[in-house]
C-alpha cells in the first residue's frame, strides 16, 4: 500500500499503526525519521530530532502519579515546576532559567495554553490523557509561530485509534482527594478510519481530614487551595478514501479554587465581600471591613479545533522504496477563557476569545529535502479589569472608625490581530548533516510592529554515535502583565503600572488614587529575545548497555525588550514596566542515561543556570513636592529572583519481566534561589537553602489492571514560611509571592488503572 500521507512527524504515540502504509499522524513537527520508543526508558533524548529534545513516553508518565501535566516534569531537570504563589496554588514551570510563559505549549503541534489561561493551564491537562510529551530546548520551528523563546513542549494525547474501549484511572491521596479519569475510544469502522475518543477528568478536595492537616505550618492559611475541577474532551478522526484526513475536537474545563485562611468558606466569603463593596461609600470610605482573608478563583476554559490535510500529486522517490508526497493542511483553532477571581480585597475578572488559522503546504524538492510554506492569522480579544484595593484604618479622634482607602483600577482592553507568512527549508546532506532554516514575518496590529523571525537548526552526526546540534533565532510574545503575575494580587503591595512612565517622570506613590490607567494599557511593546545554543550527545557502550548516552548542552537567552514585574525597587510596591534593560540567562545541562542490566534504567541529569536582570534605580524627590520617585535610566544588575541556580535529578527504574512489577525512585536536588524582599533594598535579599526531595512508586499488574502505590516528598521537606505577614493579611506586609520550595509535605497515594479492550 502506498504511503498516503507523509507529514514531518514525531511518532511516539502507542496508538498509531506504524506498519501500515497509511500513516496516521496527529502531529506536524519537523523531523525526518520515525521515533522508535524505547521499551524501557520513560525519559530519553531523541536521537533523530534536529532540536535537543527530551522525550517522556507513557512509561515515563507512569513513574509518578502524574495527576496533571505539572507532575509529569518531576523527573526532568530541563523543566522545573513550582508555585506562582502560596494562595492560589497555581503551578508554573521554568525552562532555561525563565518563566514558563516563554515556553510554547503545543497540542499535537497546535499552539495552546497561551493568553489568560497560561497560569492555570498546567492543571487543566490531566496526565492520564497524555501518551507522550516532547520537550525541545531553544527556539522552535517557525511553522508553529514566533512565541517559543526558551523552548517548546508538545503534548501527544490519547488517540481516537487507541485500542482501549474504556480506560479508567482512579487516584486517592492521604488528604482524601479523589481523582477519576475515564477515556473511551470508539471505532465506527473496522479499519478505524472513523474513530473518536472521549476523555473525562474529575477531581475534588474533600477536606475530610481535620483543618490542621491542611495547615501544617500553622499560619492559619491553607497550604494549598480547595479545588474542584472537571475536564471533558472529545476528539475525532476521519480518513476519507480519497486520502483526505480530517481531525476535529473540543474540550471544556471548569474549575473552582478556594484559598486563604482556614475558616474562609465559599458562599459566606463571597457574600461578605460582595456586601462590603455594595456598602462601601467612596466619600466616607466606610464599610465594615472583611473579617477573614480569602481567595476564590472560578475559571471556565473552552476550545475547539479542526485539521484538514490533503495529499497532492507531486511525489519524489529515492529508488529504494522510499516515497515522499506533497501535502497541504489547514488548521483552525478557537478558544474562550473566562476568569473571575479575588484575593482579599484585590480582584481580577477577565475573558478572552481567540481564533487562529494556519494554512501550510509541504513540498518535497528531493527525497531528503523539503520546503514548508504557509500563512497564519490570529485574532485575540481580551476584556478585563484588575482592582488593587488597600483598606487601612487611620484613627482620628474627631472621626472614629474612619478608614483610609487606596484604590487602583486597571482596565485591560486588548484587540490583537496578527497575520504572517513563513517558509522553512529542511534538508539532510549525505545522511549526516541536517539543516532546518526558517523565516517568518508577521504584522501585529496591536503593537503596530513587523516581526521578523529568523531561525536556524543544525544537526551534525559526526559519527554514528556522536551528534552535535546548534540552534539560534528570534522570538516574540505579547506579555500579559496581570494574569502572568497573578500572585501580586495575593499581597498587600500597591501595584503600579509604570509602563506609562518614561524615565524622568515622577511616580507618586502616596497619591496613587490618581493612577487610573487610560482606557487601553500602554505597554504596547512585545517582548523580544534572541536564543542561541547547542548540544553534544555521545552514545557509547558501558557494560552490557550498548546505547548508554551522555549529553551536554548550553543555551543563552538574551532579551532585547521585556516586561519587568518586580517588587524590589520601591518598598511596598509592585512595578511593571517595559524595558530594554539587562535580561539574560545562561543554562548548562548534563544528561546521562544507562541501562546496566536488563530492565534497570538509570537517568541522571544536572542543570546549572545563571540568570541576570537589570532592576531600575529610582531617584527620590524633595519633601516640598511631597515624596515622589523618578524612574531613571540607571539599572543595577542582580540575580533574577526565585530562579534556582541548579537542579539535579536521579531516577532509578526497575521492571520485572513483562513489567509485572515496576519500581521507581526519584531524587531531586534543588539549588538556592534569591528571595526578594519588598523593602526596596536589594542588599537585604537572601538565598533559599539547597534542599532535596525523594519520590517513590511501586506498580503491579493484575490482569487488565495496574495498581500503584507511592509517596511524594518522602523526606517531608516544606518551605516553612511561604506567606509573610500572615497574622495581618490585610496589612501592607502580607506577601505570598516568595515561594521557593514545596508547599505540601509528604504525600502518600494509591491508584488503579484498568483497561477494557
Partner 1 sequence: MIALLISLGLGWATARDTKVEDVKTTVFVTDIHCESCSTKIMNNVPALGKGIKDVVVSVADKTVAVTYYTSKNSDEKIVKGLRSLHVEATPVAQCKPCCIVPPVTPEQAQKMNAGPQTDCCKDN
Instruction: Kindly tell me which of 313 and 657 has the beta carbon lying closer to partner 1.
Output: 657
| CA distances to 214, 664, 685 from 695, in Å | 21, 8, 31
17 part of the interface to partner 1, by CB under 8 A: yes
DSSP one-letter string for 632-657: EEEEEEEEPBT--SEEEEEEEEEE-G
Among 6, 8, 10, 16, binds partner 1 (CB under 8 A): 16
Instruction: Kindly tell me which of 597 and 660 has the beta carbon lying closer to partner 1.
Output: 660
- Residues 321 and 315 sit within 8 Å (Cβ to Cβ): no
The residue range among 117-125, 419-427, 655-663, 686-694 that interacts with partner 1, by the rule CB under 8 A, is: 655-663
Question: Rounded to whole angstroms, how far apart are CA atoms 534 and 554?
Answer: 6
Give me the least distance between CB of 727 and partner 1, in Å please. 54
- Residues 461 and 467 sit within 8 Å (Cβ to Cβ): yes
Instruction: Kindly tell me which of 547 and 701 has the beta carbon lying closer to partner 1.
Output: 701
Instruction: Kindly tell me which of 216 and 701 has the beta carbon lying closer to partner 1.
Output: 701
Map the footprint of partner 1 across residues 111-170, applying CB under 8 A. 161, 163
Question: Rounded to whole angstroms, how far apart are CA atoms 660 and 437?
Answer: 46
Instruction: Kindly tell me which of 14 and 542 has the beta carbon lying closer to partner 1.
Output: 14
19 part of the interface to partner 1, by CB under 8 A: yes
| Alpha-carbon dihedral 44, 48, 52, 55, rounded to 10 degrees | -30
Give me the least distance between CB of 297 and partner 1, in Å please. 39
Instruction: Kindly tell me which of 91 and 192 has the beta carbon lying closer to partner 1.
Output: 192
| CA distances to 16, 538, 552, 595 from 541, in Å | 31, 10, 18, 10
Give me the least distance between CB of 754 and partner 1, in Å please. 11
Map the footprint of partner 1 across residues 423-442, applying CB under 8 A. none
Instruction: Kindly tell me which of 375 and 705 has the beta carbon lying closer to partner 1.
Output: 705
Q: Between β-strands 110-112 and 103-107, what pairing exists: parallel, antiparallel or unpaired?
A: antiparallel
211 part of the interface to partner 1, by CB under 8 A: no
Instruction: Kindly tell me which of 137 and 159 has the beta carbon lying closer to partner 1.
Output: 159
Burial (CB count within 10 angstroms: exposed 0-12, middle 13-18, buried 19+), residue 363:
middle
The residue range among 13-21, 90-98, 115-123, 527-535 that interacts with partner 1, by the rule CB under 8 A, is: 13-21
Give me the least distance between CB of 71 and partner 1, in Å please. 22
Give me the least distance between CB of 10 and partner 1, in Å please. 16
3-state helix, strand, coil split of the chain in percent (to 5) is: 10, 55, 35
The residue range among 8-16, 420-428, 448-456, 643-651 that interacts with partner 1, by the rule CB under 8 A, is: 8-16
Instruction: Kindly tell me which of 21 and 721 has the beta carbon lying closer to partner 1.
Output: 21
Which among 421, 470, 471, 414 is positioned nearest to 447, based on CA atoms? 414
Question: Rounded to whole angstroms, how far apart are CA atoms 328 and 347?
Answer: 46
The residue range among 88-96, 444-452, 654-662, 666-674 that interacts with partner 1, by the rule CB under 8 A, is: 654-662
Which among 739, 698, 713, 750 is positioned nearest to 74, based on CA atoms? 713
40 part of the interface to partner 1, by CB under 8 A: no
Question: Rounded to whole angstroms, how far apart are CA atoms 467 and 475?
Answer: 26
Give me the least distance between CB of 601 and partner 1, in Å please. 17
208 part of the interface to partner 1, by CB under 8 A: no
Among 217, 353, 449, 755, binds partner 1 (CB under 8 A): 755
Quick count: other Cβ atoms within 10 Å of Cβ 19? 6
Per-residue x/- track, 577-616, partner 1 (CB under 8 A): ----------------------------------------
Give me the least distance between CB of 13 and partner 1, in Å please. 9
Question: Rounded to whole angstroms, how far apart are CA atoms 128 and 180?
Answer: 10
Per-residue x/- track, 682-721, partner 1 (CB under 8 A): -------------------xxxx-----------------
- Residues 174 and 119 sit within 8 Å (Cβ to Cβ): no
Sign of the Cα pseudo-torsion (203, 207, 208, 214, in order) = positive
Map the footprint of partner 1 across residues 656-685, applying CB under 8 A. 658-660
Among 5, 15, 336, 708, binds partner 1 (CB under 8 A): 15
14 part of the interface to partner 1, by CB under 8 A: yes
Which among 476, 477, 486 is positioned nearest to 412, based on CA atoms? 486
Give me the least distance between CB of 701 and partner 1, in Å please. 5
- Give, in degrees to the nearest 5, the angle at Cα 743 between 742 and 748: 85
Q: Which residues bind partner 1 (CB under 8 A)?
A: 14-20, 161, 163, 658-660, 701-704, 755, 757
Amino acid at each position: 500500500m502506498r504511503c498516503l500521507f507523509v507529514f514531518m512527524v514525531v511518532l511516539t504515540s502507542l496508538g498509531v499503526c506504524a506498519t501500515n502504509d497509511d500513516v496516521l499522524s496527529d502531529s506536524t513537527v519537523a523531523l525526518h525519521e520515525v521515533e522508535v520508543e524505547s521499551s524501557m526508558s520513560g525519559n530519553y533524548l531523541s536521537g533523530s530530532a534536529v532540536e535537543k529534545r527530551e522525550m517522556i513516553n507513557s512509561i515515563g508518565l507512569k513513574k509518578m502519579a502524574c495527576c496533571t501535566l505539572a507532575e509529569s516534569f518531576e523527573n526532568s531537570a530541563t523543566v522545573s515546576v513550582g508555585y506562582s504563589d502560596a494562595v492560589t496554588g497555581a503551578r508554573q514551570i521554568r525552562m532555561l532559567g525563565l518563566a514558563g510563559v516563554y515556553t510554547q505549549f503545543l497540542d499535537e503541534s497546535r499552539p495552546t495554553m497561551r493568553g489568560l489561561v497560561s497560569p492555570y493551564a498546567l492543571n487543566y491537562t490531566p496526565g492520564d490523557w497524555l501518551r507522550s510529551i516532547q520537550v525541545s530546548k531553544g527556539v522552535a520551528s517557525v511553522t508553529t509561530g514566533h512565541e517559543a523563546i526558551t523552548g517548546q513542549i508538545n503534548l501527544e494525547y490519547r488517540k481516537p485509534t487507541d485500542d482501549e474501549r474504556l480506560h479508567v484511572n482512579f487516584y486517592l491521596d492521604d488528604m482524601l482527594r479523589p481523582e477519576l479519569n475515564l477515556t473511551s475510544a470508539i471505532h465506527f469502522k473496522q479499519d478505524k478510519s472513523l474513530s473518536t475518543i472521549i476523555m473525562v477528568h474529575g477531581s475534588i478536595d474533600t477536606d475530610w481530614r481535620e483543618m490542621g492537616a491542611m495547615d501544617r505550618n500553622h499560619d492559619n492559611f491553607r497550604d494549598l487551595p480547595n479545588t474542584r475541577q472537571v475536564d471533558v474532551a472529545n476528539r475525532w478522526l476521519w480518513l476519507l478514501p480519497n486520502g483526505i484526513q480530517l481531525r476535529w475536537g473540543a474540550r471544556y474545563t471548569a474549575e473552582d479554587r478556594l484559598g486563604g485562611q482556614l475558616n474562609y468558606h465559599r458562599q459566606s466569603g463571597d457574600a461578605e465581600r460582595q456586601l462590603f463593596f455594595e456598602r462601601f461609600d467612596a466619600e466616607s470610605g466606610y464599610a465594615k471591613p472583611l473579617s477573614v482573608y480569602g481567595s476564590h478563583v472560578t475559571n471556565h476554559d473552552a476550545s475547539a479545533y479542526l485539521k484538514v490535510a490533503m495529499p497532492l500529486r507531486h511525489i519524489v522517490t529515492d529508488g529504494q522504496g522510499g516515497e515522499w508526497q506533497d501535502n497541504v493542511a489547514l488548521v483552525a483553532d478557537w478558544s474562550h477563557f473566562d476568569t473571575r477571581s479575588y484575593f482579599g480585597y484585590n480582584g481580577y475578572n477577565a475573558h478572552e476569545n481567540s481564533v487562529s488559522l494556519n494554512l501550510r503546504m509541504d513540498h518535497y524538492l528531493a527525497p531528503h529535502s523539503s520546503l514548508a510554506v504557509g500563512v497564519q492569522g490570529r485574532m485575540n480579544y481580551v476584556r478585563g479589569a484588575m482592582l488593587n484595593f488597600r483598606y487601612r484604618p487611620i484613627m482620628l479622634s474627631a472621626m472614629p472608625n474612619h478608614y483610609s482607602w487606596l484604590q487602583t483600577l486597571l482596565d485591560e482592553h486588548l484587540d490583537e490581530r496578527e497575520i504572517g507568512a513563513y517558509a522553512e527549508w529542511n534538508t539532510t546532506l549525505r545522511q549526516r548533516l541536517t539543516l532546518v532554516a526558517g523565516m517568518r514575518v508577521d504584522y501585529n496590529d496591536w503593537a503596530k510592529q513587523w516581526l521578523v523571525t529568523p531561525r536556524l537548526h543544525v544537526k551534525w552526526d559526526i559519527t554514528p554515535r556522536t551528534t552535535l546540534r546548534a540552534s539560534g533565532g528570534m522570538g516574540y510574545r505579547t506579555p500579559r502583565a496581570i494574569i502572568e503575575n497573578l500572585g501580586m494580587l495575593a499581597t498587600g503591595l500597591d501595584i503600579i503600572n509604570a509602563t506609562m512612565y518614561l524615565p524622568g517622570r515622577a511616580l507618586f506613590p502616596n497619591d496613587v488614587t490618581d493612577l487610573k490607567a487610560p482606557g487601553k494599557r500602554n505597554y504596547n511593546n512585545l517582548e523580544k529575545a534572541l536564543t542561541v545554543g547547542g548540544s553534544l550527545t555521545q552514545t557509547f557502550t558501558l557494560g552490557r548497555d550498548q546505547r548508554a548516552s551522555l549529553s551536554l548542552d548550553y543555551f543563552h537567552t538574551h532579551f532585547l525588550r521585556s516586561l519587568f514585574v518586580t517588587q524590589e525597587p520601591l518598598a511596598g510596591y509592585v512595578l511593571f514596566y517595559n524595558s530594554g534593560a539587562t535580561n539574560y540567562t545562561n543554562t548548562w545541562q548534563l544528561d546521562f542515561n544507562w541501562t546496566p542490566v536488563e530492565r534497570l534504567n538509570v537517568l541522571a541529569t544536572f542543570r546549572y543556570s545563571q540568570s541576570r536582570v537589570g532592576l531600575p534605580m529610582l531617584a527620590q524627590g524633595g519633601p516640598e513636592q511631597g515624596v515622589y520617585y523618578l524612574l531613571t535610566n540607571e539599572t543595577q544588575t542582580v540575580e533574577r529572583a526565585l530562579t534556582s541556580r541548579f537542579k539535579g535529578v536521579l531516577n532509578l527504574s526497575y521492571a520485572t519481566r513483562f513489567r509485572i512489577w515496576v519500581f521507581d525512585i526519584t531524587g531531586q536536588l534543588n539549588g538556592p534561589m534569591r528571595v526578594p524582599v519588598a523593602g526596596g533594598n536589594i542588599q537585604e535579599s537572601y538565598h533559599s537553602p539547597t534542599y532535596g526531595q525523594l519520590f517513590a512508586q511501586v506498580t503491579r499488574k493484575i490482569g487488565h489492571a495496574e495498581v500503584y502505590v507511592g509517596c511524594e516528598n518522602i523526606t517531608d521537606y516544606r518551605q516553612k514560611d511561604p506567606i509573610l505577614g500572615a497574622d495581618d493579611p490585610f496589612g501592607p506586609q502580607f506577601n505570598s509571592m516568595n515561594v521557593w520550595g514545596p508547599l505540601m509535605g509528604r504525600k502518600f497515594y494509591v491508584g488503579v488503572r484498568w483497561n477494557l479492550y
